[in-house]
Amino acid sequence: MYILGISCFYHDAAASLLKDGEIVAAAQEERFTRKKHDDSFPTQAINYCFKEAGIDISQVDYIGFYDKPLLKFERILESYIDNFPKSWRAFIAAMSVWLSKKLWIKEVIKNKLQYRGEIYFINHHLSHAASSFLVSPFDTSAILTVDAVGEWATATFGIGRGKDIKILKEINWPHSLGMLYSAFTYYLGFRVNDAEYKVMGAAPYGKPVYTDLIKKELIDIKEDGSFKLNLDYFEYPYGFRMVNKKFENLFGEPRRTPESKIEQRHWDLAASIQEVTNEITIKMANHLYRETGLKNICLAGGVALNCVSNSKILNNSPFENIFIQPAAGDAGGALGVALYIDNAVLGNDRKIQWEHSFWGPSFSNEKVKEFLDKKGLEYHQFDNETLVKKVAQLIAKQKVVGWFQGRMEWGPRALGNRSIIADARNKENWRKVNLKIKFRESFRPFAPTVLEEKSEDYFEIPKGVLGRKTPTSYMLLIAKVKEEKRKEIPAVTHIDGTARLQTISREQNPLYYDLIKEFDKITGCPVIINTSFNVRGEPIIHSPEDAYNCFMKTGMDCLVINNFLLLK
């Protein structure tokens, strides 16, 4: 039995395919179209899923869509009517899109795919909850989902038992933690729904001096983590901007012009909104623990990609175990709806415990060689053992390597198959990779990949989150770099002494593990820089051609595609 899950038309369109309850494939549309956060109907992602499974649409038994468009349309109408006439421009713009396609998703699916079977629509936050709990290692768990907005809900508190998920409580629009964080992202001159992680990365450079002002004027936080925003300061319920002049006046200056110099006040604002986010999510988690009494928690929704607040939940609540599915945002809803249909609707037993994120396309050595020969490129081909030794030596000699292997990652993090890697011992690599290769802001930190068995020698890892079924394998938690190791790995030690951690075991990714093992053998250091294989403003690479194009227009020194090594 095949079940296809789809998310699209808002941001991060994606498709996933299950066969008899097991994941066959999952991918985001942006990787194929090369349009970052592409929200269009995921035709290419769906075609890839079918190709991976060796099927066509006639063999698909069910299709699921990750939210309920009619409920979302109801919310948009009510919001614009409540704010009329301020909302009339946004209302006209929204109606043209809604009336042309977003209201007719069932027809769009049937027509695009020539599908005549059954289509299920489930609530947005239920898709989020299912995407985490139903692939978690837990039979029973509390579930917390937090994002900008689904249909009406902006956060949900729930519980999962076996195959079932029950939502206990919701926080509803327009009161949204995700929108509050995005409002500060906008005010700080970054792109909404794209650069929230920049705010998180900027926060340690500042002091949370605006926290009290935010809590006094913008948001009323209750002990259970529920809250209300003061909507007098925000334009997002009715307009095209996130904040209004009153918001700007509150903080003393207009919105920062994108690409302009970041001043101390901007760092401080980032620190302040991160502290407020931490406080809310901790209170939410503690309330959920009091309601459920369970030791496990699953997180989902875009806010669950905030690894700082995830770590705060783990360290400041009674929960002992935490799970976060790596595609925690809207893309993950495509997986969530498919899982929910299989387990909750059809009643089939759960078969998945998440152990890796490699659900995208791969390319054979024959295909890679064909591409390289067609380009007339000079290359060296090695077996795996020789390749690992050669590349480890290059990294130790301070070469920056584009590393392309196997199946593409699912979710926004590169985890060793579409990665740019370098020596974490050399702080200059931090600047080099940021400015000359990624072409991005110099303040942004890099994640380390560390051998799992040596990770506790370098990082202070909370109990219960080490291993391939935990968030430490997917850059979803931060960990303190041990004081005595900070000078050894400065390129991955953020200004506050933390790192967004990826641990690696051989069971997860044998070749990537062997590479770091060889690097450790040469240097005595089991840690390297790992950042996504792309440049600023582009999606992570998908194909050998993408890899080569990115390699040629950046300051990377070497490119590895499968067993082929190219040098500049």
Per-residue pLDDT of the chain (568 residues; tens, 9 = 90+): 999 999 999 989 999 999 999 999 999 999 999 999 999 999 999 999 999 999 999 999 999 999 999 999 999 999 999 999 999 999 999 999 999 889 999 999 999 999 999 999 999 999 999 999 999 999 999 999 999 999 999 999 999 999 999 999 999 999 999 999 999 999 999 999 999 999 999 999 999 999 999 999 999 999 999 999 999 999 999 999 999 999 999 999 999 999 999 999 999 999 999 999 999 999 999 999 999 999 999 999 999 999 999 999 999 999 999 999 999 999 999 999 999 999 999 999 999 999 999 999 999 999 999 999 999 999 999 999 999 999 999 999 999 999 999 999 999 999 999 999 999 999 999 989 998 889 888 899 899 999 999 999 999 998 778 777 888 999 999 999 999 999 999 999 999 999 999 999 999 999 999 999 999 999 999 999 999 999 999 999 999 999 999 999 999 999 999 999 999 9
In CATH terms, is domain 2-133+326-345 a member of 3.30.420.40? yes
- CATH architecture of the domain 177-324 equals 2-Layer Sandwich (3.30)
- For the entire predicted model, the pTM comes to 0.97
| Beta bridge pairs of residue 297 | 142, 322
* DSSP state at residue 536: T
**Rounded to the nearest 10 degrees, what angle do helices 510-523 and 384-396 cross at?**
50
Q: 275-294 burial string, b = 16+ CB within 10 Å, else e?
A: bbbbbbbbbbbbbbbeebeb
Q: What is the pLDDT of residue 469?
A: 80
What are the boundaries of each domain within the chain? 2-133+326-345, 177-324, 365-567
With beta carbons less than 8 A apart as the criterion, state whether 68 and 124 touch.
Answer: yes
With beta carbons less than 8 A apart as the criterion, state whether 285 and 158 touch.
Answer: no
Inter-residue long-range contacts of 508-512, CB under 8 Å, 24+ positions, other chains counted: 508/355, 508/356, 508/468, 508/473, 509/356, 509/358, 509/406, 509/415, 509/416, 509/417, 511/384, 511/388, 511/405, 511/406, 512/403, 512/405, 512/416, 512/417, 512/419, 512/449
Per CATH, which fold does 365-567 belong to? DHBP synthase (3.90.870)
Domains 2-133+326-345 and 177-324 share a fold: yes
With beta carbons less than 8 A apart as the criterion, state whether 57 and 214 touch.
Answer: no
| Beta bridge pairs of residue 300 | 145
With beta carbons less than 8 A apart as the criterion, state whether 100 and 184 touch.
Answer: no
